Amino acid sequence: MATKKGNGMTTFHFFRAELRESFQDAGTVLIFIVAALLYPMVYSVGYVNETIRNVPIALVDLDHTSMSRQFGRMLDATEQVSIACHPGSIKEAEQLFYQQKIHGVILIPASFEKQVLSGNSSRVTVYCDAGRFLVYKQVFTAATYVTGMVNAGVEVRSSLVQGKNWNAAVTQVEKMNPQVFDVYNPSSGYATFIVPGILIIIIQQSLLVGIGLLYGKHNEQKYRPDLVPANTWTQGIRVLLGKSMAYTTLYLVTTLVTLVLFYHWLRFPDLSGIFAVYPLLVMYLFTISFMGLAVCSWFTKRVQALMFLVFLSPVVYFLTGVPWPLELLPHGVRWLGYLFPTTPMLPAFIKLRIMGGGWESMRFETMVLCLQMTGYFILALVSYKVVSLKQGRKEMVSEPAQIGS
């Protein structure tokens, strides 16, 4: 009987057997090694230039005065935008916008200088595509910055005309001079915001898919040497520890590339170093392994693992709080996210590595990870017990038939 082979085997035997099985199966090699290394790179390469600069825009100047020309020169000097053309009307600029030759339009109205110098307000109108929020941010930021500078210049000039000296005029304009320091995301880039979270999600999903492929293959072949009906509780603990240690060892190696070399190549903030993260990563990998062993034992075919876990990926992505803040999610949906290890792991990883906080700052997240790891281990052990007894009953039925034949 195939099931008797696993009786009496130690945790190390299961660890070594699972490592061997992982390297002998083409599907798991593709997921555990190739996908775990290449997918983060392919996904993140597009974010290498994470800050958009010199967005082409059109400046429609209907005033044609020295102040409007100065406004245009200051706008073109910003790093956010670049004036690509000067259409004569808003209609011409609209056509260029729809042809994707420009990504924004700034309109300076007629009598702009006259209104400003007379002390009245004059509006500068900004048109940009709010559906492309990175482009929108750059165009709007440049327009706001230049408008503020022009307003400040007008106020300083008015104060000088009134007889005030330069220092008094500048002080009157800058009554509050804020100093802004961009912490945790110095470049204010989208890649620094989203890619570290994506790396953590990829680790979970690829590991779950790989475990599902292995179990699906065994169930298709009806060969499970690790199933031992006798004394299944003790044997089950050995099996689960051995297999989870194999998966964790594999991913501790692959994460050296994704979370060390690749992480530093993209120049993401790193205030703690990978070695401070490794104890947290080990907890995370064991939790995922136990989750995979609990769920994937029931997959009878490899394709079921792929379909289920790939379908689960966008759900996990949404529940982690990467695309949408967790605080804005409904309470029921928010608590549903704590079924997945990514939900506590992602904020813990950010607090430790990007924000430079210690283990005290992520006490809640580590407690949730420990509870998840314990819960999924018990669930995996129960699944192993049930599947082992089920396999044992099938063999008891099939053996008399073989003897009679």
Sign of CA pseudo-dihedral 170, 172, 173, 177: positive
Q: For residue 89, what are its two tokens?
A: 């009307």
Rounded to 5 degrees, φ, ψ at 104 are -175, 155
> d(Cα 83, Cα 96) in Å, to the nearest integer?
13
Confidence of residue 221 (pLDDT cuts 50, 70, 90): low
pTM of the shown model: 0.80
- Would you say residue 339 lies in a domain? yes
Using DSSP's 3-state secondary structure scheme, residue 253 falls into helix
Dist. CA 105–CA 90, nearest whole Å? 8
Place 305 in a pLDDT band, splitting at 50, 70 and 90.
confident
Kindly state whether residues 215 and 103 are assigned to the same domain. Answer: no
Q: Is residue 394 pLDDT above 90, yes or no?
A: no
Residue 335 located in a structural domain: yes
Q: Return the higher-pLDDT residue of 250 and 305.
A: 250
Alpha helices, DSSP H only, in 82-231?
90-98, 112-117, 133-161, 166-173, 190-221
Please check whether residues 247 and 283 belong to one and the same domain: yes
What is the structure's pLDDT at 207?
92
Predicted confidence (pLDDT) at residue 299 exceeds the cutoff of 80: no
β-pair partners for 61: 108
pLDDT at 403 over 50: no
Say whether both 195 and 269 belong to one domain: yes
Identify the domain boundary among 147, 173, 199.
173
Most confident of the ranges 1-15, 164-178, 245-259: 245-259
What is the tens place of the pLDDT at every residue in 58-103?
999 999 999 999 999 999 999 999 999 999 999 999 999 999 899 9
- Work out the pLDDT band at 230, boundaries 50, 70, 90: very low
How much of the chain, in percent, has pLDDT values that exceed 90?
35
Min mean pLDDT across 136-145, 182-191, 221-230, 320-329 is at: 221-230
Q: Burial, 173: exposed, middle or buried (Cβ in 10 Å; 0-12, 13-18, 19+)? A: middle
In a domain, 405, yes or no: no
Look at 174 and 255; give whichever has higher pLDDT.
255
Q: Kindly state whether residue 372 falls inside one of the protein's structural domains.
A: yes
Q: Are residues 72 and 198 in the same domain?
A: no
Total count of domains within the chain: 2
Query: How far apart, in whole angstroms, are the C-alpha atoms of residue 230 and residue 1?
Result: 13
User: Which of 20-24, 44-48, 274-278 is predicted with the least confidence, judged by mean pLDDT?
Assistant: 44-48
In this structure, are 99 and 158 located in the same domain? Answer: yes
pLDDT 10s digits, 136-157: 989 999 999 998 888 888 777 7
Provide the domain limits for residue 271.
2-47+187-396
* Burial class of residue 257, CB neighbours in 10 A (0-12, 13-18, 19+): middle
Average pLDDT, the chain: 84
Question: If residue 153 lies in a helix (H) or strand (E), which one and from where to where?
Answer: helix 133-161
Q: Are residues 297 and 151 in the same domain?
A: no
Does residue 182 belong to any structural domain of this protein?
no
Mean pLDDT value of segment 238-242: 90
Residue 38 has pLDDT above 90, yes or no: no
What is the amino acid identity at position 390? K
- pLDDT at position 401, please? 43
Q: What is the mean pLDDT of residues 305-318?
A: 81
pLDDT attached to residue 225: 57
* CA–CA distance, 54 with 48 (Å, rounded to integer): 16
Select from 144, 173, 202 the last residue of a domain: 173
